[in-house]
Amino acid sequence: MEGNKQSVGYCSIFTRKAVLFMAAFLFVSIAVVPTHSVQATNYDYIDHDTVWGPEAGVHILGQPVVVNAGVTLRIEPGTIIKAGIFGTLLVNGALIANGTSDNPITFTAYKDDSIAGDTNGDGNTGIPTIFDYWPGLRFYAGSSGELSHTLFRYGGNSRLSNEGDQDQIFAKDATLTLRDSKIFDSVYSGTQIEFLRSQVTLERNEIEQSSDVTGYGFGTGLLIRGGNAQIKDNLFHRNGAYAVLFDSHTQYGPATVVFQGNSLYNNGLSYANAFKVKYGIGCDGNDTYDLRNNWWGDATGTKVDANPQGKGEPIRNCDALVSPWLTVPPGLPQNGRRPVLLVPGIAGSELKKGNDKIWLDLTKILFDFNDSFLDVLAMNEDGTPTDPEVTHGDVIRTLNKGIPLISYDYFGGLIDELTTQGYQENTTMFLMPYDWREGMYPLSKELKQKLLDVKEQTHSDVVDVVAHSMGGVVVDNLTGYSPYDTGIGKLIFIGTPHIGAPKALKDLLWGDDLGVPFVLNKNEIKKIVQNMLSVYDLLPNKQYFKINSGYYYDLTQNSAPKVLNLTDMVALFIDKGLNLRGLQDVINAYYPHNFPFTDSNIDAYNISGCDSPTITGIIERPNEEYYLRIGAGDETVPLSSSNYVAPLVAKSYYIRGADHGKMASTPAVRSLVADLLTSGVPSVSELPAGITTSTDGCALQGKFVSVHSPVSLDIHDDSGNHAGPSANGLIENTIPGVYYETIRENKFVFLPSGTFDVTLTGTASGTVDLTVDTYSGELMHEVAYQAMPVTVGSLAQLTITPTSADTELQYDYTGSGQFQDYEATATSSTSAAYDFISPTTTAQLSDTAGNSSWYQEPVTMTLAASDSNSGVAKTEYRTDNGQWVSYTAPVIFNDDGVYRVFYRSTDRVGNVEDEQSVAFSIDRTVPDVSILFENGHEKPTVEGTDAISSAMVLEIGDNTYRVSDEAGNLVTLVFVLKVKKSGSKAKLNEVRYNGIALPVKPITFVNSTVYDKNDELKKIRQKIAVPKYLKVGSIYKGSLDETSITAKLYDEEKDKTVLGGIATVKLLISNGQFSYETD
């Protein structure tokens, strides 16, 4: 109530002066009577019979008020008493407080603004903190109380520091009757009601420590120490420690207790979190208690030594009689079924904006080709909604628009099955729709609250849970972080990716139809899921990597295969533009606990799809060529993930031919679920058809077709059903058991046992790679067609049966209908999805290198390639930066030069070896030589040059010169020299190349110099004669300061040249040829 309190007859007249006066002195004196719709008591002791009523306003207790012995305080219906931190009623006489269901009497804390508004005038509309609670109501020796239809709240502080500390109601050696009342929200570790050697009657009360799911303390609902107690038809719930604690130590005396018809559930939650065990009732002493005919929160009764299978509130350290117990909550319409909560998976709940249904509106999807109306479902980078007005609606039950292809039974069949078993929706069967775009943390909190709500509504301590897909992951998170306080009885997982599913990454990178085939645009789904933390939470987590090493293979660099670990995935997410916050959630994710569910008193079962083709890995190769690695599962969740909890649950079941999205309502699964919930664990002979308890036979049987190219892929069975692109460009699949997936230009189809016509139709010019893998439990072999040329309209056809060899297809390049046989390029015992190892190639060079690793002869390079898996498809090489050339035979290198030859091989599944290289140098040519005789020099000047390697000149003896290059090629010159004062004459008698003499006669060199009488240079003559090759001479005339050069090559005319100054003539020898040059 706020402001005007006329509904309970309060005066609405007040003054600002009165409010300030009350605020200043409230907790110093109780004699203040302000007019702020408040009536404060004006006495410390009530020494005569007194009536408090609502007409005087809210009654404020600022300090203890004592009801004297022999005096009666009567409180009328509708009265509100608010007490400060020292305010309490201490009853030595009698208290009569009988409210009505319409006008209860309320005891609460002064700062509780939820009752009668802002009484303390601080302007807030909040609730008290733990420091604002009032001490509670206390009855002492000889006193009596008669209370009904009362509310006690926010009591039990310890400011008075005496008996009854932290109790909302305390009675010592008193007589008290409490009926039809509610006592709740006590202090953290307080007791709601404590009776010490008192005569008490408690009937039809609700005793609850905390009404807030996050606010449980270690308090007890009822503490009885001796005396006599009639405790009937009460409700004890949400008490952090015990619902009831009997303390019969000798100082209190024995207690005589009648405890019947009470309901106990959802107690001991704080104990459960702290000590891994929860209790409903505890005993401290040696008395025996009759606790028969009570509801313990579950039809199986309380868990005691005599009833170890009981799932209800356990009893601790008590000698108690418990059988028979109530099997249904008292006063509630029940049919004997424990409540069950159904939790759907991702995309299993409607999403709407106002009254406009967004997900899943088939009418809009059918007529909006791009499905852009789904844009409002997109999330911000931090995982919050871009449109906060989007909320969830009901669980999706069935989809049916009169179109057989998109009729879809999600939870409808399961709900119907449970209904036939006697469950009633919103009475014993509850659904948990939720906003499936959110992450695990908020969803697990939502699940926890939903479980509490169901318990409250059904007065149950235990709720069974059936969770499908991501719903199971939400349960994993809740039971993993808080395993002991969930109150889950039976837990049935259906197709749950306990440790993630690689398909989630495929959905993020390329989109998916989210279980709505033929009509949903994958590009739109890719767009809206980019920041949905739920999708990231379904990615393989740390435990998946431990079991499977990884699931994304990056082969784009032609390097050794790299299976990305969780750290590597960061770089991939950055490269692909994904949400790093989502990946961080995966890295930090809590995976299912590694202890049996029975340790937390949960009777868990797990149902997995076990032989349907399921993505287990994604392989990225160069040029956006992708392969899928498949294994057994339910088409979405790999068996290794759904079956991860098998060692932790009571029983695991496996269904063949599973379709993940429809699993919950599959006849076999829904029948099994109903049996587990109502009849217990069926024997093997009683299992529904298609269900097994063993993974034997849980393996792929069929053929997996992969196409990588610009072609369409169509499949037809022998009944005319089709899988492939439809007229609107989306993929349709009407063939039972066929699995069809696409990643850009890569198409993948799994074909079960049967006869299928496979047709490839060219959509652009290029080449196509087609593989057909045969699975029989495991991959048996692969047939590959590599680099098959196609153009627009090209056709290729192949009929596949369980026994077909698949090694020859019909091929029509032009699409004219003229087919020819086209043989497979390779067959192997592995496939591109499993063979990640590149071939190995070695290079062998012929002969032996000479000096400094130089070759003086032609070099022959021989390449040898090997591949231990699929085999070598081709080997190729290139020189330096040249084009790749196919290697078919040893390659001969004749020309001089410095070479680096690169080579690599490719195997039959497309693995390309890292480039290898070999370096070598060839120099088969001797150095070039120049010879110069200068007048007056006793020896010639010999120089050597080499176009490939460096050359050097050595003089051996007086007349022999050796000119060699780095490779070891040698020119030997042998001279005969005659030197005179006026000139010199020499003969080059031999020119040898690598020891072999050139076929030339001795070469003559003549030099002479003439001076005039003044000893001035007059003439210089030079002559070089190579018989049958060359004659050249020069005359320098000092008077003209010029040189005339006359040369005649063999069979050519003379050539005369005049040069200024002194010019000399050199003989050049190159590759056995002779020439000259002037200098």
- DSSP letters along 348-412, please? -EEEEETTEEEET-HHHHHH-TT-GGGGGG-B-TTS-BSSTTEEEEEEP-EE-SS-GGG-EESSH
What the block records as the tokens of 482 is 């808080």
Query: Using CA atoms, how far apart are residues 177 and 147, in angstroms rounded to an integer?
Result: 6
Mapped onto helix, strand or coil, the DSSP state of residue 510 is helix
Q: Across the chain, what does the average pLDDT equal?
A: 87
DSSP string, 95-148: EEEE--SSS-EEEEETT-TTTTS-TT-SS------GGG-B-EEEE-TT-EEEEE
**By percentage, how much of the chain surpasses pLDDT 90?**
60
Say what the pLDDT of residue 556 is.
83
Say what the pLDDT of residue 721 is.
94
Cis peptide before 999 (omega within 30 of 0): no
Q: Closest Cα to residue 548, out of 557, 556, 539? A: 539
What type of residue is 445? K
Specify the long-range contacts of residues 1017-1021, CB closer than 8 Å, at least 24 apart: 1020/935, 1020/1062, 1021/983
Indicate if the pLDDT at residue 1047 is higher than 90.
Answer: yes
Whole-angstrom CA distances from 928 to 949, 961, 975, 1001, 1066 are: 11, 13, 17, 19, 13
For the chain, what's the residue count?
1079
Query: CA angle, corner 562, sides to 557 and 564, nearest 5?
Result: 120
Indicate if the pLDDT at residue 787 is higher than 60.
Answer: yes
What the block records as the tokens of 44 is 């410390």
Indicate if the pLDDT at residue 215 is higher than 50.
Answer: no
Q: Where are the alpha helices (DSSP H) in 593-696?
A: 639-642, 667-678
The pTM for the full model equals 0.75
Query: Using CA atoms, how far apart are residues 512 and 523, in angstroms rounded to an integer?
Result: 8
The per-residue pLDDT for range 816-845, each reduced to its tens digit, is 999 999 999 888 777 766 777 889 999 999
Say what the pLDDT of residue 583 is.
84
Say what the pLDDT of residue 778 is.
85
DSSP string, 328-349: S-TTS---SPPPEEEE--TT-E
Query: Using CA atoms, how far apart are residues 352 and 435, in angstroms rounded to an integer?
Result: 10
Q: Closest Cα to residue 513, out of 498, 490, 529, 493? A: 529
Indicate if the pLDDT at residue 1034 is higher than 50.
Answer: yes
Say what the pLDDT of residue 163 is.
76
Q: Closest Cα to residue 613, out of 740, 473, 424? A: 740
For the CA atoms of 528, 531, 537, 538, the dihedral, rounded to the nearest 10 degrees, stands at: 30
Residue 726: how many other CB atoms lie within 10 Å: 14
**H or E segment at 797?**
strand 795-800
Contact partners, residue 959, CB within 8 Å, separation at least 6: 974, 975, 976, 977
Highest mean pLDDT: which of 505-519, 554-568, 638-652, 1003-1017?
638-652
Say what the pLDDT of residue 515 is.
67
Reported as a pLDDT band with limits 50, 70 and 90, residue 47 is: very high
Indicate if the pLDDT at residue 516 is higher than 70.
Answer: no
The per-residue pLDDT for range 328-380, each reduced to its tens digit, is 888 765 567 889 999 999 999 999 999 999 998 777 776 665 678 899 999 99
Indicate if the pLDDT at residue 29 is higher than 70.
Answer: no
The per-residue pLDDT for range 842-885, each reduced to its tens digit, is 999 987 777 777 898 999 999 999 998 878 889 999 998 899 99
Average pLDDT over residues 207-228: 76
Residue at token pair 């150095």: 927
Average pLDDT over residues 898-925: 90
For the CA atoms of 515, 519, 520, 523, the dihedral, rounded to the nearest 10 degrees, stands at: 130
Say what the pLDDT of residue 832 is.
66
Q: Closest Cα to residue 715, out of 660, 673, 761? A: 761
Indicate if the pLDDT at residue 782 is higher than 70.
Answer: yes
Q: Which of 98-107, 404-413, 500-509, 920-929 has the lowest mean pLDDT?
A: 404-413
Say what the pLDDT of residue 187 is.
74
Say what the pLDDT of residue 594 is.
64
- Cα first-last separation, the chain: 120
Q: Closest Cα to residue 246, out of 286, 198, 186, 292? A: 286
Query: CA angle, corner 446, sides to 440 and 450, nearest 5?
Result: 140
The per-residue pLDDT for range 120-179, each reduced to its tens digit, is 888 777 788 888 999 999 999 999 999 999 999 999 887 776 777 788 999 999 999 999
Whole-angstrom CA distances from 399 to 348, 352, 404 are: 11, 16, 10
